[in-house]
Amino acid sequence: MSVPVAVIGSLSLALAAGFELLGVLDRLNSLVLKMVNPGRDLVFTKALPEWSGWFVAVLCGFALPFALLSVVGVWRRWVLWVSVLFLIASWAPVLALAACAPRIGIPLVVASWAGICAMVYANRHQMPCDRQAGRLKP
């Protein structure tokens, strides 16, 4: 199971890096800022270090597929994936309240793509945890 996790995590990070080079993540971050702060222009006096977003992205890129491929059952995988996306999205208002610019685009893209790939892989392959739990696919 380590090869699919490594491939999914690497491709998710490559997608985020490509989006960063194309400027898509800047537009995503400005959209998040507009959702957090509708109608006003806030000046954020603090900023998180640039590496912190990539650190969380690397963590999500490899830990999320590992967790999704290790959990028994489709319903539990969906709950885990949606919970991670919700936690990442909930950083935006917290960071805005702390006067930090909410730049959550990188981890959000990585967690979304890693989750999609892991869910597709788990649905198309027999996972060892499903086999041990007695949930064999037809």
Query: pLDDT tens for residues 40-61?
Result: 777 778 888 889 999 999 999 9
Find out whether 117 and 8 touch, Cβ atoms under 8 Å. Answer: yes
Domain ranges of the chain: 2-131
Closest CA to 117 of 64, 74, 55: 64
Higher pLDDT, 36 or 5: 5
Q: Which residue has the higher pLDDT, 117 or 38?
A: 117
Render pLDDT for 80-134 as a digit per residue (tens, 0 to 9). 999 999 999 999 889 888 888 888 999 999 999 999 999 999 888 877 776 665 6
pLDDT at 134: 61
